[in-house]
Chain A
Amino acid sequence: MSFEPLQRTVPPLALVDVTKRYESGGGAVTALSHVDFAVESGEVVAVVGPSGSGKSTMLNVLGLLDEPTEGSVELRGETTAGLSEAERTDARRESLGFVFQDFHLLPTLSAVENVRLPTAFLPDDVTDRAHELLELVGLGDRLDHTPDELSGGQKQRVAIARALINEPDVLLADEPTGNLDRDTGTAILEESRRIADEAGVGVVAVTHDDLVTEYADRTVELVDGVLRDV
C-alpha cells in the first residue's frame, strides 16, 4: 500500500506528450516526438543532444515562443493551449526568463536599462531591483555601461539579471556558454547554479558543453526529437 501525498507539488513548467512538426518544402520534419518533460523549482536540467535533434525547438515550446503541433505546455499545472498571443506574452514576462547564446542585449540601453527592459511598459519602477540583480551577478560597478563596453561574460551576466527581473519560475537558456571561453562559461554556470539554489528558480539549459552537465541536477538527451534521461 502506498499513500498519495496530501499535496502534490505541481511543476512550474512541463511538456505533456508534445510533438512539434515543421512542414517544409518536400516533407515534414518532426523536431519533437511525444516529449514528456517537467522542471521543478530550484532544479537545474541540462538538455544535450546532437545538432538538429530538437533542443532549441524544445526550449522555444517550453518558453511559449512556439506552439506544439500536438500535446500541451503546462504552466504551474495549467495548460497554455487556449491562451491568446497577448496572454502568452504576459505569461512569458511574468513566469519565464530567457538567456540566449548571443546575449541579445539592446545596444542603446545601459546595463540597468537592459535589466529593466521586460518591465519597460509597466508602471512600477524596478530600478532598485535591477541594481541588486546586477550586484548579485557581480556587475555592481558596471551599472551604466552599454553592451559594447562589456565583455562577453559580462553581457551574459546582464542577460541573466534581465531574465530574473520579474522573479520567474523558470529560466530557459539556449547554449548560454556557447559564445564564452571555458573559464567564463564556468563562472556563468556557477552563477546559474547559485540562482537556482537561492531563488528556487528552475533552470533548463540547452548545451553542447560537457561542463554544463557537471552543474546540473540531471541531464536529458534528445535524439531525433525523442527525449530520454541520461
Chain B
Amino acid sequence: MSDRRFPALSLATRNLSRQRLRAALAALGIVIGVFAVVTLGLLGNALSVAAQVAAVRRAADGRGTVVPLQSTGGTVRGTGGQSVAQVYGTDNPQALFGNGSGAVPSSHRQGALVGSGLADELDLRPGSTVTVEQNEYRVVGVLPPVEGISPLQPDSAVVLPPGEFASDDVSQVVVRANSPEDARAVASGVRERLNSRQQRVSVFSLTSVLDRISEFFDLLNGFLLAIAGVSLVVAGVSIFNVMLMTVAERRGEIGVLRAVGIHREQVLRTLLVEATLLGVAGGAVGAVLGAATVVVVATRTELPLWAVLQPGNVVVPLGAFAFGVFIALVGGLYPAYRAAWEPPVEALRG
C-alpha cells in the first residue's frame, strides 16, 4: 500500500471521508472566499488595465508630435439639420484625431473633417457639403470615433484648415508624447519654463488622468480585495470550528494514537494535513471557478478578454489559492495543537 509513505496524508484523507458533508461544507467556505478574491481581483485588474491602456495607446501613437490647435465654437449645418459644435483648426489632423488607419490626412489644406458623432447627427458623409458659420465646405472625411480618454472631443467637432480662422491665435498646443513618462516630463517642463513667473499657459496632461485612473482603481481594488479577504477569514473560522468538533469527537482515538507510540508532532501533522486538505480542495475549486467566471464575464460584456488574460493576472488565482490553503492551515492550528498535546490518560478517560 502506497499510503505507508505518507501516513499523515493517508490517515487525514480517511478521517475527512468519514464526515463528507461536514468536510464539504468547511471546504465550501474556502471555495467562496477564494472565488470572491479571484473574481474581484481579476475584474479589478482587468478594468484598471483596460482603462489605462486605452488612454496610453492614444498618448503613445504619436511620435512626440507637437500640434498647435485653434479652437472656437460655431453653428454647423448639414443636410440632416444644424448644431452648435466645436470647431478645431489644425494642419495636422492625423496626429490629433487619427487612429493610424490612414483615414485622416496628415496635412489639411482645404475642406472639412467631421467628427463621427456630428456626421451621424447632421447626416454628413465624404462629398457632402457642410456649412460652418455661413461658409460652405466640402466634407473630405469623417473622423474615426474616439476610444478612451482624450483632452479633445473630436466626435462632435468640425476640423478646418487653420487658414479658415479669422485670427492666427493658437488657443492650445497639443503634445503627443511617446510614453506616459515622456508626457509627464513634457508637462512639467512646460510648466517650469512658461509658468515660472506667472500663469501663462495651463497644462493639461493625459498622464495626470492616467494617474487618477490608476489611483482610483487601486483604491477600488484594495476595497474589493479587503471584502473578499474577510470572507476568506470567515472560511478560516469555519475550518477552525470543524477541526475543533472533529478533534473533540476523536479525542479517544487521538489518545490511543498517543498511547501506542505515535508522537505529538505526528498527531499534529496528521490533523494539520486534514485542515490543509480542506483548504487545497476548496482553494482549487474556488480559483478555477473564479477565473472561469471572469473569462465568461469578459466574453459577455465590453470588458476586453486580453485585459483578463494578461500573464500578470496568473498571480491572482495562484495567490488566492495559496491564501486559502494558508487560512485553512491557520484555522486548523489551534485545534490540532490542543488535541495533540492533550495528555493521553485524559483523552482516554473520555
Contact = CB atoms under 8 A, between A and B. Distances in A.
Contact of B256 (A86, A104, A121, A127): A104
Given A86-B263, A121-B7, A60 B345 contact: yes
B344 A65 contact: yes
Contact of A125 (B4, B17, B262): B4
B18 A121 contact: no
A107 B259 CA distance: 17
Interface in B244-279: 252-253, 255-264, 266
B259 A98 contact: yes
A129 interface: no
Interface of B: 1, 4, 7-8, 11, 14-15, 17-18, 252-253, 255-264, 266, 343-345, 348
Interface in A39-93: 60, 63, 65-66, 85-86, 89-90, 92-93
A157 interface: no
Contacts of B18: 107-108
A120 B344 contact: no
A89 B348 contact: no
A129 to B, nearest CB: 14
B260 A118 contact: yes
A195 to B, nearest CB: 17
Contacts of B15: 108
B4 A89 contact: no
A109 B264 contact: no
A191 interface: no
A110 B269 CA distance: 22
A90 B18 CA distance: 29
A85 B266 contact: no
Contact of A89 (B11, B255, B256, B258): B258
Contact of B260 (A66, A86, A117, A127): A117
A45 B62 CA distance: 99
Contacts of B256: 98, 100, 104, 106
B261 A65 contact: no
A213 to B, nearest CB: 25
Contacts of A193: none
Contacts of A92: 259-261
B262 A89 contact: yes
Contact of A65 (B7, B11, B259, B263): B259
Given A120-B262, A163-B260, 15 more contacts: A65-B344, A65-B348, A86-B264, A89-B264, A90-B261, A93-B261, A104-B256, A106-B253, A106-B256, A108-B14, A117-B260, A118-B261, A118-B262, A120-B11, A121-B262
A94 interface: yes
Contacts of B348: 65, 100, 104
A121 B259 contact: no
A131 interface: no
13 contacts: A89-B262, A89-B264, A92-B260, A93-B261, A93-B262, A98-B259, A98-B260, A104-B252, A104-B255, A117-B262, A118-B260, A121-B7, A121-B263
A118 B258 CA distance: 9
Nearest to B13: A108
A94 B263 CA distance: 13
A73 to B, nearest CB: 14
Contacts of B344: 65
Nearest to A95: B261
Contacts of A100: 256, 348
B11 to A, nearest CB: 7
A8 B74 CA distance: 122
